[in-house]
Amino acid sequence: MHRLDRETSGIVIFAKNIESKVQLQDHWKATEKKYLAVVHGQCAKTSGTITTYLAENRAHIVYSTSDRTQGKLSTTGYRVRRQTKDFALLELDLVTGRKHQIRVHLAGIGHAVVGDQKYGKRDRGHTRLALHASSISFKHPFLGQQLTFESPVPAYFNQLVGKIDLAP
C-alpha cells in the first residue's frame, strides 16, 4: 500500500484486495502518519514546520530546493519529545509523503537522523537508522470507522535517548 525506506522500522499497511487499495489511495491525504526520529544535536526550537521543494538528481539523491519548477512541495511538522547532550527525539507529522522527505528535511535544518549514511554524517558508532513509523490512522475503506495502529518504540531509541514515555 505504501512504502518505508528499507532501514526505517515501524508500521506498514497493505490492502487485501484491489477495492480496498483504491479506497485507501483515494483517501491517502487524510491518512495521519506519525514518525519518531532520533537526530544529532539539540534543537533550538521545541516545534516547527519544515517546508521545501524536494527534487531528485540522477544519482537518486533527494535534495531541497527553493525552485518550485524543479521539485515537489513537501512539508514535515516536528515536535521535540526529549533532548540529551548529543541527541533529540522528535515526533514527526508527515503532511506530504515524498521519497526520503523526513531524512532530507531534518538534515537540511542541521539535525540529521542518527545512523543516516546517505543524508547524515558518517558515524561508525551509530549505523542503524533511528527513524520509526510509529502510528498510522485512517478510515476503514468500507466501514468508515477510524482505525489507528501503533508500533512500540524500538529498544535502540531507548539506548540513544533513555527511556521514552510518549504520553501526551
Closest by Cα among 80, 72, 120, 63 to 96 = 72
CB neighbour list of residue 66: distance below 8 Å, 6 or more residues apart? 52, 53
- Residues classed as catalytic: 5
Query: Rounded to whole angstroms, how far apart are CA atoms 123 and 120?
Result: 9
**CB-side neighbour CA atoms (13 Å) of 13:** 22
Which cell is 34 given? 506519525
Grid cell locating 86: 548529543
Q: Let me know: does 157 contact 89? Beta carbons within 8 Å.
A: yes
What is d(CA 106, CA 84) in angstroms, rounded to the nearest whole number? 17
- Cell for 11? 508500521
A 10 A CB-CB count for 15 gives 15
